[in-house]
Amino acid sequence: MLDRAFEGVSSCLRCEGLWIGPATLDAAFGNPRWPSGVTLWWRNSVECPECAFEGKTTLMAARMSNDVLVDQCPEHGVWLDRGELGRLMGAGADELGALRDRLAVMAPDLEQLVARREKWRADIEARRKAALDYRQALEAEHRRRIEIAEAERARLDVEARARAVAATPSPQVLPPTPHRSARAEPPPAAADPVEAARRAAHHRQQLGTQRAQGSADVARLQGQLVVLQDHVRRLETELADTKQRANRVQHEIDEARGRLRTLDHQLDGLS
């Protein structure tokens, strides 16, 4: 049950807690993620009200700052229970008044707002260009490594086929059998059993040698395939890590754009 107290600050009519946006935190304390402190990830239990308004469910990060447990949404602001803002600021009971006075003292003039807006705009553009260049470079490197791996795999396949063809014995072409008449030469005598056994043993030895060579080729190719698959997995891991970094940079860009919109509103109010 949030009710607007003043620009960037809302209070709950029921529990008197405060919801403060990042632009107001930045204007009052110079940090849109104020207050700093140790994150207690196991105590995240409060949902962001603005995320809920947008149809999303986001558990805010619990943070301990100066013995005060606060809940913070990285995109929309910080939630403080009744009296916590005064404890963090070292103010009295009128914590909203203390925050309003601090904003009045810290409020920049028109020239400062223009300079800050231009600085943030340049920073957003630089971050966006750096993130885009880095992503394009990584994708190009990923494609290059995949092409190298595919070329190596194709080369190994060609070599394996060539060895298989070389190891296959070529069929022997027998000379044409001359026509024999019924009264021609007598039929040839039966082959020598000893010579037939010797030839069979020699043929078995050749087949065994070819099989051993084929098994060695298969083992070597399987080893190379394992190396290539491991290389592809490393590339995929690097790509996933880079995408996460790119998403974090995009999140920072979105936050900077939010601060830029706030400055534009302030400039419009002063003009």
% the chain with pLDDT above 70:
86
3-state secondary structure the chain: CEEEEECCEEEECCCCCEEECHHHHHHHHCCCCCCCCEECHHHCCCECHHHHHCCCCCECEEEEECCEEEEEECCCEEEECCCHHHHHHCCCCCHHHHHHHHHHHHCCCHHHHHHHHHHHHHHHHHHHHHHHHHHHHHHHHHHHHHHHHHHHHHHHHHHHHHHHHHHCCCCCCCCCCCCCCCCCCCCCCCCCHHHHHHHHHHHHHHHHHHHHHHHHHHHHHHHHHHHHHHHHHHHHHHHHHHHHHHHHHHHHHHHHHHHHHHHHHHHHHHC
Residue 177 counted as domain residue: no
Q: For 155-195, what is each residue's pLDDT tens digit?
A: 888 888 877 777 665 555 455 555 554 454 555 555 577 78
DSSP-assigned beta bridge partners for residue 6:
9
Residue 96 counted as domain residue: yes
Band (pLDDT 50/70/90 cuts) for residue 249 is confident
The reported pLDDT for the residue numbered 78 is 92
Q: Does the global pTM surpass 0.75? A: no
Q: For 40-95, what is each residue's pLDDT tens digit?
A: 877 777 888 888 888 888 888 888 888 888 899 888 889 999 889 888 888 777 88
The reported pLDDT for the residue numbered 159 is 82
The verdict on 71 and 131 lying in the same domain is no
User: 128 phi and psi, to 5 degrees?
Assistant: -65, -45
% the chain with pLDDT above 90:
2
The verdict on 121 and 70 lying in the same domain is no
| pLDDT reading at 102 higher than 50 | yes
Q: Which two tokens stand for residue 139?
A: 């994708």
The verdict on 121 and 203 lying in the same domain is yes
Which of 173, 159, 169, 156 is closest to 210 using CA atoms? 169
The verdict on 97 and 215 lying in the same domain is no
The total domain count for the chain is 2
- Enclosing domain of residue 205: 112-165+198-270
The whole-chain average pLDDT of the chain stands at: 79
The verdict on 13 and 35 lying in the same domain is yes
| pLDDT reading at 99 higher than 50 | yes
The verdict on 58 and 154 lying in the same domain is no
The verdict on 43 and 140 lying in the same domain is no
> Which of 107, 124, 146 is at the close of a domain?
107
